Amino acid sequence: MKAAVLESPKNIQVQDLEKPIPQANELLIRLRSTGICGSDVHLFLGDRLLPVPTVLGHEGLGYVEAVGAYVEGFHKGQRVVIEPNIPCGTCRFCLQGKGNICPNKQVIGVNSPGCFAEYVCLDADFCWKLPDSITDEDAVCIEPLAVAVHALHVSSAPKQAHIAIFGLGAIGLLLCQLSLTKGYQVWVKDLNEEKQVLAEAMGARILPTEGLEAFLYDREIAAIFDCVGVAKATNLILETAPRGSEIILVGLANESAQFVPLKIAREGISILPSIIYDHPNDFAETIELIAQDKIHPGQIISGRFPLNRIGEAMALAVSGKATKVVLDME
The per-residue pLDDT for 63 is 98
245: left (phi over 0), alpha (psi -120 to 50) or beta: beta
d(CA 85, CA 277): 9
- Residue 245 has a CB neighbour count (10 Å cut-off) of 24
Does domain 148-273 fall into CATH 3.40.50.300?
Answer: no
Domain(s) of CATH 3.90.180.10: residues in the chain: 2-140+301-328
The per-residue pLDDT for 133 is 96
Domain(s) of CATH 3.40.50.720: residues in the chain: 148-273
Q: For every one of its 330 residues, what pLDDT tens digit does the chain have, with 9 covering 90 and above?
A: 999 999 999 999 999 999 999 999 999 999 999 999 999 999 999 998 999 999 999 999 999 999 999 999 999 999 999 999 999 999 999 999 999 999 999 999 999 999 999 999 999 999 999 999 999 999 999 999 999 999 999 999 999 999 999 999 999 999 999 999 999 999 999 999 999 999 999 999 999 999 999 999 999 999 999 999 999 999 999 999 999 999 999 998 889 999 999 999 999 999 999 999 999 999 999 999 999 999 999 999 999 999 999 999 999 999 999 999 999 998
pTM score: 0.96
The per-residue pLDDT for 253 is 86
The per-residue pLDDT for 205 is 98
d(CA 19, CA 34): 18
| Residues belonging to the chain | 330
Q: For residue 57, which amino acid is it?
A: G
* Three-state secondary structure of the chain: CEEEEEEECCEEEEEECCCCCCCCCEEEEEEEEEEECHHHHHHHHCCCCCCCCEECCCEEEEEEEEECCCCCCCCCCCEEEECCEECCCCCHHHHCCCHHHCCCCEEECCCECCCCECEEEEEHHHEEECCCCCCHHHHCCHHHHHHHHHHHHHCCCCCCCEEEEECCCHHHHHHHHHHHHCCCEEEEECCCHHHHHHHHHHCCEECCCCCHHHHHHHCCEEEEEECCCCHHHHHHHHHHCCCCCEEEECCCCCCCCCCCHHHHHHCCCEEEECCCCCCCHHHHHHHHHHHCCCCCHHHHCCEEEEHHHHHHHHHHHHHCCCCCEEEECC
CATH for 2-140+301-328 (1.10.3720.10, 3.30.1360.120, 3.90.180.10, 3.50.50.60): 3.90.180.10
The per-residue pLDDT for 330 is 80
The per-residue pLDDT for 254 is 85
